[in-house]
Chains A and B, each alone.
Chain A
Amino acid sequence: MQHWMEWAIAFFLLLGGSFVLIGSIGLTRMPDFFMRLHGPTKATTLGMGGILLGSIFFFSLTGDVSIHELLITIFLLITAPISAHMLIKTALHHKLTAISKTRGLDKIPPAQVKAHDRNV
């Protein structure tokens, strides 16, 4: 393998790794649940993209062309916003507290009474 290719692969792996790390730092550092959610949904997507790009380059240059990592990227892009949406819906349903300086808290609708809520 040529020298500059190793540099390109290392660059993508490091870029991906640092974005995943930043996403995880956001998960622990932010003060409330709603803000914690932003790190893993966004920074981690690009991080995984970087790592998978590095994988595509490495395996394509050492052996046969390898592009089925693209599938992982596509599935991640489709599923990440949906899991984030389910998490934040659950948080609203359980009335988790947001930090006091959050604006627009009055826009959250009152919890809908469902048939299975027996103790209302």
Chain B
Amino acid sequence: MRFDAKYRWLPTPYRSVMLFVVWLLLNQSIEAVHLFFGVVLALLIPLLIQRFRDPQPVIERPLLALRYMLRVLADIVVANAQVAVLILGPKRRLNPAFVKVPLDLQHELPITILASTVSMTPGTVSAEVLPSTESIKPGEPLPQRWLLIHVLNLTDEATLIDSIKQRYEAPLKEIFNAG
């Protein structure tokens, strides 16, 4: 996992791109003035806030990250339909459960993305990351971490854990080059 950006004057390249696009979307135009101000803001804001941020791991596989985003978007549509059916169906047939998913990821940022993805997709809401960051003493080796999730309708625990690990955690590990 890498924490330093390639160029000092561009600490967070993808955030700069995002700021530029958001600026153009807010103004709804691609006139020269807006393009110019977009570039200025996209370069200036990351430099100004750089010292207030904790260093975050760098995205090493941008294309894979894009594919991951598209996959999650498609999964959200499917998950929505599934949850809608579960909500309107008979309540007796629902089997809610808490499940602990062992995590291979160690850093906060990939874990946050994984937890958010789990909340948006198949009938699950992430509840807690164990053990919490505050209980880990600095200097000690990082313990095995777990993601506690609540499942609306659990059919098979092992299959669910497997699918989360392979479908979402494995690409995240590659994107941040972790583990």
Minimum distance in angstroms from A120 CB to a CB of chain B: 16
- CB < 8 Å neighbour of A103 from B123, B126, B130, B154: B154
**B26→A68 contact, CB < 8 A:** yes
Minimum distance in angstroms from B93 CB to a CB of chain A: 11
**A88→B127 contact, CB < 8 A:** yes
Per the CB 8 Å criterion, the residue count for chain B at the interface is 38
CA distance A25 to B89 in the complex (A): 12
CA distance A98 to B125 in the complex (A): 14
Binding site for B on A (CB under 8 A): 19, 22-23, 25-26, 29-32, 34-35, 37-39, 41-43, 45-46, 64-68, 70-71, 77-78, 80-82, 84-85, 88-89, 92, 98-99, 101-105, 107-109, 112
- Tell yes or no: B103 within 8 A of A by CB: no
**B76→A46 contact, CB < 8 A:** yes
**A99→B96 contact, CB < 8 A:** yes
**A81→B98 contact, CB < 8 A:** no
Q: List 29 A-B contacts (CB under 8 A).
A: A22-B87, A26-B87, A30-B91, A32-B96, A34-B150, A37-B125, A38-B83, A38-B87, A38-B123, A41-B120, A42-B123, A45-B80, A46-B77, A65-B28, A68-B26, A68-B28, A78-B116, A81-B126, A89-B128, A99-B96, A101-B96, A102-B98, A103-B154, A104-B97, A104-B99, A108-B98, A108-B128, A109-B130, A112-B135
